[in-house]
Amino acid sequence: MEYEIAGIVVALLLWAAWAVSTERRHRRLPPGPRPWPVVGNMLQLARSASAPHQSFAELAGKHGAVMTLWLGSMTTVVVSSAEAARAMFKHHDAALAGRKIYESMKGDVGNEGSLITAQYGPHWRTLRRLCTAEFFAAGPLDAMRGVRARCVAQMLHYVREAAAADDGAGTDVGRFFFLMAFNLIGNLMFSKDLLDPASERGAEFFYHAGKTMEFAGKPNMADYFPALRWADPQRIRRRTQFHVKQAFNVAGEFLRERMREREEDVEKKKDYLDVLLEYKGDGVEGPAVFSSTIINVIVFEMFTAGTDTTTSTLEWAMAELLRNPDALRKVQAELRGVIGAGEKVEEEKLEELPYLKSVIKETLRLHPPLPFLVPHKAMESCEMLGFHIPKETQILVNVWAIGRDPKRWKDPQEFKPERFMDGDTAADYKGHHFEFIPFGSGRRMCPAVPLAARVLPLALGSVLHSFDWVLGGGMKAAEMDMRERMGITLRKAVPLRAIPIPYHQAHF
Binding site for ligand HEM (CB under 6 A): 115-116, 128, 185, 301-302, 305-306, 309-310, 313, 369-370, 373-374, 376, 438-440, 444-448, 451-452
Helix (H, G, I), strand (E, B) or coil at 371: strand
| Residue closer to ligand HEM, measured from CB, 370 or 471 | 370
Residue 311: CB minimum distance to ligand HEM, A: 9
Burial pattern 59-76, b for ≥16 Cβ within 10 A else e, equals bbeebbbbbbbbbbebbb
Residue 501: CB minimum distance to ligand HEM, A: 27
Residue 115: CB minimum distance to ligand HEM, A: 5
Residue 209: CB minimum distance to ligand HEM, A: 13
Residue 66: CB minimum distance to ligand HEM, A: 17
| Residue closer to ligand HEM, measured from CB, 165 or 284 | 284
| Residue closer to ligand HEM, measured from CB, 121 or 325 | 121
Q: Is 446 one of the annotated binding-site residues?
A: yes
In degrees and rounded to multiples of 5, residue 350 shows phi and psi of -60, -35
| Residue closer to ligand HEM, measured from CB, 60 or 445 | 445
| Residue closer to ligand HEM, measured from CB, 170 or 296 | 296
CA dihedral (259, 261, 267, 271) in degrees, to 10, reads -40
Residue 83: CB minimum distance to ligand HEM, A: 17
Running DSSP on this structure, what letter comes out for residue 408?
Answer: T
Give the integer Cα–Cα distance in Å for 74 and 103.
13
CA dihedral (24, 27, 32, 35) in degrees, to 10, reads 20
Going 374 to 492 to 485 to 80, the CA torsion angle's sign is positive
| Of 41, 83, 104, 45, residue with least CA distance to 375 | 104
- Show the DSSP H helices in 218-323 as ranges: 221-224, 236-263, 272-278, 292-323
| Of 400, 365, 395, residue with least CA distance to 380 | 395
Contact predicate 73/42, CB 8 Å: no
Give the integer Cα–Cα distance in Å for 104 and 134.
29
Give the integer Cα–Cα distance in Å for 372 and 487.
12
| Residue closer to ligand HEM, measured from CB, 159 or 451 | 451
| Residue closer to ligand HEM, measured from CB, 42 or 459 | 459
Bridge partners of 99? 376
| Residue closer to ligand HEM, measured from CB, 163 or 449 | 449
Residue 310: CB minimum distance to ligand HEM, A: 5
Residue 385: CB minimum distance to ligand HEM, A: 19
Contact predicate 271/187, CB 8 Å: yes
Kindly report the length of the chain. 508
Element (H, E) at 122: helix 122-130
Residues annotated within the binding site are: 446
Residues annotated within the binding site for heme are: 446
